[in-house]
Structures are given as C-alpha cells and as structure tokens.
Amino acid sequence: MSSDVMVDVVIPVYNEEEALEGSIATLSAYLGAHCPCRWRIVIADNASTDRTPEVGRRLAEASARVDYMRLEQKGRGRALRYAWSHSPADVLSYMDVDLSTDLDCFMPLIQPLAEGRYGVAIGSRLAPGAKVTRGLKRDVISRIYNLIVKVLFPRKRFSDAQCGFKAVTQAAARELLPVVKDQAWFFDSELLLKAEARGYRIHEVPVKWVDDPGSRVKIAKTAWEDLKGLWRVRWGG
C-alpha cells in the first residue's frame, strides 16, 4: 500500500465527553504504529450539548493529525456526509467512538480501497469468521433487520448493513453521497443499497466486535426509522 494514500477516519459523536479523549488516544496510537498511509482523525460532532466540543477542540489543538468539526443539527448520517464531503482524502472511513470493532480490522478494511480494487468496504458481524460479543436482544434485532433487507432486496450481497465500521473511496463518495437521503442511522443501509444498485462490489471484513453496554442508541426508534427507510428505498425511489 502506497504511503502517498491519504486516509480519513471520521468519528461521529454526540455527547461523548467521557469516551472521546481515551478513544482518540487509542486510535491515534494504533494508526501511528500500524497504518503506512498518511492519516487523519476527524471528530464530527453533531450538536452535542455536553463538554464534547471543548474536548474535541482541545484534542485537535494538541495534534496536527486530529481535526474537529461541529454541526448544529443531530444525525450520524448528517455528520458523516459533511465530513466525507469536505475531505480531500483518497479513502474515507468511519468507526464508532466506543471502538467496539477491534482496530486490527482497520487495515484489512481500507487496503482494498487504497489499492483500487474496491470502492466500498464494510465490517461485518455476520460474515463467516466474525467474533462477536453482544447481548441476545441486540443480536436478534440485528439478524432480523438484515433478514428483512435480504427479503426486500433479494440481490443484495452484503451481510451486515449496520456495523459502524465502513470505508469508501473518494470517487465512490462523490457518486453516492448525493443520492443518499437519510441523515441519521439508516444512512449506512441506504449507502450500501445505493452502492450495489450502481454496480459497486462491497468488500466485507469479518470483525471482532464487542458490544458497548453503555450505548445510548434507542433501539425501537432506530429500528422503526430503518424500516421506513427500507420502504422508501424499495418503493419510493
């Protein structure tokens, strides 16, 4: 992999004052030791109301390889869209601030994109070889959701729409972001469905993944919004 390739790692955050500093330190140390590319970490704050902005700005001031950007509206999809749209990097990736996915999966995620073999890559908790530690409720909901995606889109080939560990090339982002409408959690699923509809092959990395018991994701509300999103993409354009 060429050292000339530039990689952005976006961390979308909302009220993560407690986890942010430790996660950025861990990620920075890992990338410094294992990533041969030029890299940058981008903290994409979508309307946090706690001390996240203060922490994010301080981290950015302390390191030339950490940037902080602030959006005044909530939405993980909105944060990713903005960060990726304003990035000059060759490969655009993101991961959740809790670092639930083992960082050893990062280079296998981005390498095929950096080498020009794929335009989209995802971590998968459902692919053969994945090692997942999570509660039964979340596991069942995730499997049911991905089964619904398969039923509604029989030609889809990716196994896990929702894992917070994805990457796209700059060229793929320019083509796909304008056609992805969702600004929240369904952004991931819509991105993958629109990518496959446009002929992109999606590289999957079986991940080692540990559930964050402190996650504040509202499962029922998110599931309902995801189902409405699937309906829109399948029948509403």
Active site residues: 188
Provide the b/e sequence for 117-140 (b: ≥16 CB within 10 Å): ebbbbbbbbbbeebebebeeeeee
CA distance 213 to 104: 21
CB-facing half-sphere around the CA of 183: CA atoms within 13 A: 7
Do residues 157 and 196 make contact, with C-beta atoms less than 8 angstroms apart? yes
Alpha carbon separation from 171 to 116, 168, 212 (Å, rounded): 10, 8, 33
| 3-state SS, residue 91 | strand
Residues 6+ apart with CB under 8 A from 67: 40, 41, 42, 43, 60
Q: Identity (one letter) of the amino acid at 161?
A: A
Q: Which residue has the tokens 């999957």?
A: 204
- Residue 51 per-residue DSSP state: S
Helical axes 20-34 vs 52-62, angle rounded to 10°:
30
